[in-house]
Structure 1
Amino acid sequence: MGTDVQSFAVANLRRRPVLVETGGFVAGFDPGTTSPYINYATPLPGARPTARDVIELIEAFRVRDLKPRLEFAPDAAPAVEPALRAAGFTVEAVHAYLVCTPEGLAIPQGAAALPVVVPSTDEDYLAIDVTLSEAFAGEFAASPEGAARLRRVQEHGGAVRFVRAPDGGCAGGATCSAPA
């Protein structure tokens, strides 16, 4: 499964407004934000980077005044982690893959379902961006650029959904990248 996840990560980053490919890495950047959760790199499956490759990757971040950061499935590129550690990188977090098959889907019984809405206006997208900013402790402020980023996800085959709050804003939202 790691190679499938890694192949998706590569395809997803290649959709970013600014793309840098160097030494077996793909880095995707969005000039509208400094968020490390949007501006990051990933290795190609099976990549075997040299020390020079890692230096070139770091430089791609440095010239944009961004923190070098990667997200990847280690089992899809086992030579990457040692090369990054040799350059001073540390592990920020390790996440497990969560998989739900149609046979395993368990829908809670008796819970009142809230209507999930597809955003359609600039105000909807901004309300979702405001809510996402709040959910992440305001680390990255909501902005017109953030709202435009959400709209691009929806318009390019991904999904953006939200639950409308009683005041017309957003009570909660989610995004899903386009399949790759």
Structure 2
Amino acid sequence: MFGADVHAYLRSAAGARARRRGPFTIRLDEHNDALPFNYAIPDDDADPTENQVAALVSAFRERARTPRLEYVPQAAPKVEGALLAAGFTVEGRYPLLVCPPDEVVDTPVDPTVRIELVTTDAGLWQVAHVMNAAFEAPEANEYDVARLRRILDGGGIVAAVVDTTTADVVGAGQTGSPYQGVAEVASIAVRVSHRRRGIGGAVTALLTRAGADAGITIPFLTPADDDAARVYARVGYRKVGEALHISLRA
């Protein structure tokens, strides 16, 4: 089941600092309290008790983080009911899309931009600035750059989009560090000034194709809205399931 593969990847991405509470693996970012960096993944086929859910909530509260999960409900169908009973509410249900690297489709892109892979710290700083601005996050700092460096060190990929007329970085994207061939294509970001020029699709296509050389045979992503889903569909991504984001707000 692909959902189990995604869960295995997410647990791997949680890293050595991951915590366990009952049938949950918890990923917490000590420097960033933003929701996308703090979540839990249930064990496959988990059937958590009320006490186990309470322990999960406590683990987040102890670190001043919002208790929340990101997971594939098809792989753990009993978890959502237990969370809803504990007061959790659904943030969103998002299509889970995949595209084998050899099936990616190139789409038209503004000819005044160049897309390139990034490996230097200077390039990672530029990427971090674009990503944070695009997602309305605080100004990029050394922890954002360190996070991108860990992705590279783990075999992931970071890309930047350069406006060739100004030399400014105007877009970016990344994959996660692959685990058994699976990795997420994420953080596709484009500055407001350069949107609707085909850049998001072009970055996604490049990351997907380049991922094959990095050992990523099953790239996946979860678009935040229908507009993003259409962009990814144009470059070859298709729906294979659903991801659930669910949290307990104070």
TM-score > 0.5 by shorter chain: yes
Cα separation, 2, equivalents of 1:48 and 1:11:
21
- For this pair of structures, how many residues does the alignment match? 177
Cα separation, 2, equivalents of 1:158 and 1:102:
15
1:45 and 1:161, CA in 2 relative to 1: closer, same or farther beyond 3 A? same
Q: Which residue of structure 1 lines up, in the alignment, with residue 129 of structure 2? A: 130
Per-residue CA distance 1:105-153 (angstroms, 9 max, x = gap): 3223687484322323322111111111111123x43111111111111
The 3-state SS of whatever aligns with 2:56 is helix
Between the aligned residues of both structures, percent identity stands at 33
The 3-state SS of whatever aligns with 2:178 is coil
Q: Which residue of structure 1 lines up, in the alignment, with residue 162 of structure 2? A: 164
Q: Which residue of structure 2 lines up, in the alignment, with residue 26 of structure 1? A: 25
Cα separation, 1, equivalents of 2:109 and 2:132:
31
Q: Which residue of structure 2 lines up, in the alignment, with residue 97 of structure 1? A: 96
Query: Does residue 12 of structure 1 match 2:13?
Result: yes
Whose strand fraction is larger, Structure 1's or Structure 2's?
A: 2
The 3-state SS of whatever aligns with 2:126 is helix
Q: Which residue of structure 2 lines up, in the alignment, with residue 107 of structure 1? A: 106
Question: Aligned runs of 1:36-115 on 2, under 5 Å?
Answer: 36-101=35-100, 104-108=103-107, 112=111, 114-115=113-114
1:120 and 1:103, CA in 2 relative to 1: closer, same or farther beyond 3 A? closer
Letter in 2 for 1:143: N
Letter in 1 for 2:29: D
1:19 and 1:109, CA in 2 relative to 1: closer, same or farther beyond 3 A? closer
Residue 102 of structure 1 and its aligned partner are, at CA, apart by 5.1
TM-score by length of 1: 0.88
- Segments of 5+ residues of structure 1 without an aligned counterpart are none
1:60 and 1:110, CA in 2 relative to 1: closer, same or farther beyond 3 A? closer
The 3-state SS of whatever aligns with 2:37 is coil
Per-residue CA distance 1:30-64 (angstroms, 9 max, x = gap): 21211110111110111111111111111111111
Question: Does structure 2 conserve the Cα–Cα contact (< 8 Å) formed by 1:163 and 1:173?
Answer: yes
- Segments of 5+ residues of structure 2 without an aligned counterpart are 180-250
Per-residue CA distance 1:88-113 (angstroms, 9 max, x = gap): 00110111111223564322368748
Question: Does structure 2 conserve the Cα–Cα contact (< 8 Å) formed by 1:7 and 1:44?
Answer: no
Q: Which residue of structure 1 lines up, in the alignment, with residue 241 of structure 2? A: none
